[in-house]
Amino acid sequence: MVADRIFKDGAALSFRWQWARDPTGKTCGELQQLQDRLQSFLFAGGASDSWTWILQGNGIFTTQALTTLVNERNRIPVHVEIDKRGVDLDSVRCPMCNNDSETVEHATLTCPFAKDLWSRIFHWWNGGTPQYSNLEDMFQGKTCPSNTNASKLWQATEWVTGYMLWRIRNLKVFEGKMWNAPMVLSEIQAKSFLWITSRSENLHLDWNTWLLHPSTFDDHG
């Protein structure tokens, strides 16, 4: 709950964080930026904490809405789609590899950077090699573990991976920054763990289990 972490200390806000592991490196700077921005944020009194999904007008996540977005994926502004809309680009090649045209499926699945990252994700989950032929395979959960709880964790991992691939791509395009796959994998592990544990109060998942054996998790507590 936000009320357990942020409280008034005179005119300013104070923070009482509880971390599974202490922030280090770049994360410390991002945390400080967050805290600075929160100082001017006006919290709604009496309102309950909630998560908002910005891709849906009402802020509520549904698998149906996600499926609709996937089916309309040509709206994602990769270079090929931007070119189709009449924007004059120097090139429609993938900014990550420069080997092929940047389509949605290339950016998320078949680009060498994306393939390397997915291989690391599958290795982390002890799942062998990626078996996606298109985005529908990913969002329909064709590679999910049979274990019910683990399958939910795997789907969360897939979605966070897709988000991170697009974020890293945009950092490369707009800021000239390039992350390597091990760095992105660590970020995916941290972000997916935070998302899962924040949304699932009754799911008893610890950090070490998440890092070492995510595919074997089956919570009975």
pTM above 0.75, yes or no: no
Of the two residues 123 and 58, the one the predictor is more confident about is: 123
Q: What is the pLDDT of residue 89?
A: 86
The per-residue pLDDT for range 128-171, each reduced to its tens digit, is 777 777 777 776 666 666 667 788 888 889 889 989 999 999 99
Q: Which of 22-36, 162-176, 180-194 has the lowest mean pLDDT?
A: 22-36
Of the two residues 183 and 77, the one the predictor is more confident about is: 183
Q: pLDDT at residue 53 above 80?
A: no
Q: What is the pLDDT of residue 16?
A: 83
The per-residue pLDDT for range 196-220, each reduced to its tens digit, is 888 877 778 889 989 998 888 776 5
Computed from CA positions of residues 81, 83, 87, 90, in that sequence, does the dihedral angle turn out positive or negative? positive
* Residues whose CB falls within 8 Å of the CB of residue 34, separated by 6 or more in sequence, listed in order: none
Q: Are the beta carbons of 221 and 204 closer than 8 angstroms?
A: yes
Q: What is the pLDDT of residue 86?
A: 85
Q: Are the beta carbons of 83 and 89 closer than 8 angstroms?
A: yes
Q: For 122-154, give one letter per residue: b (16+ CB within 10 A) or e.
A: bebbebeebebeebeebbeeebbbeeeebebbb
Q: pLDDT at residue 98 above 80?
A: yes
Domain extents in the chain: 79-216
Torsion of the alpha carbons at 146, 147, 148 and 149, rounded to the nearest 10: -140
First-to-last C-alpha distance (Å) of the chain: 21
Mean pLDDT score of the chain: 82
Q: Cα 45 vs. chain centroid, distance in angstroms? A: 30
Angle at which helices 181-199 and 148-175 cross, to 10°: 130
CA distances from 191 to 85, 185, 209 (A): 34, 10, 15
